[in-house]
Amino acid sequence: MPTIEKVLWLATAGSLGTLARWALSGLVHRYWNGSFPSGTMTVNVMGCFLFGIIWQLGQQRLVLRTDVRFIVLAGFMGAFTTFSTFVFETDNLLRTGQWWYAAGNLFGQIILGLIGLRLGIALVQWL
């Protein structure tokens, strides 16, 4: 069971991640206005980059304690972009030779996510 202190740290980190996503996406959109979602892409790519740095600092360099890494990755990065977790997990499947699972994860989440979105829209329109 998580302690109240850990929950508060996660909530704080999550709030900061949400604000960072909103600010960066808005900034990018202001300078690269158009129909392409450049703000979202920037946040997702930056999130993957930061996730890699944070993970490696904790894994190899032992600069970050396990609990701090968890709060930063689950709290801040989880709110900044869950795409980074999706990419990290897919990369882990590739690194361990689980090619079919990696392909299933890539196509399943993207295609099923699109289907879920369209079904949700259709449901509300039907109601």
Residue 104 CA, distance from chain mean position: 18
Q: What is the pLDDT of residues 54-112, one digit of tens each?
A: 888 887 767 778 888 889 888 998 899 878 778 888 898 999 999 999 999 888 888 98
Q: What is the pLDDT of residues 39-70, one digit of tens each?
A: 888 888 888 888 888 888 887 767 778 888 88
Do the beta carbons of residue 70 and residue 9 sit within 8 Å?
no
Residue 99 pLDDT:
92
Residue 86 pLDDT:
85
First to last CA, the chain: 40
Query: Percent of the chain at pLDDT above 70?
Result: 97
Q: How far is CA 15 from CA 18, 70, 76, 99, 101, in A?
A: 5, 15, 7, 35, 32
What's the rounded Cα separation, in Å, for the pair 44 and 104? Answer: 20
Q: Is the pLDDT of residue 1 over 60?
A: no
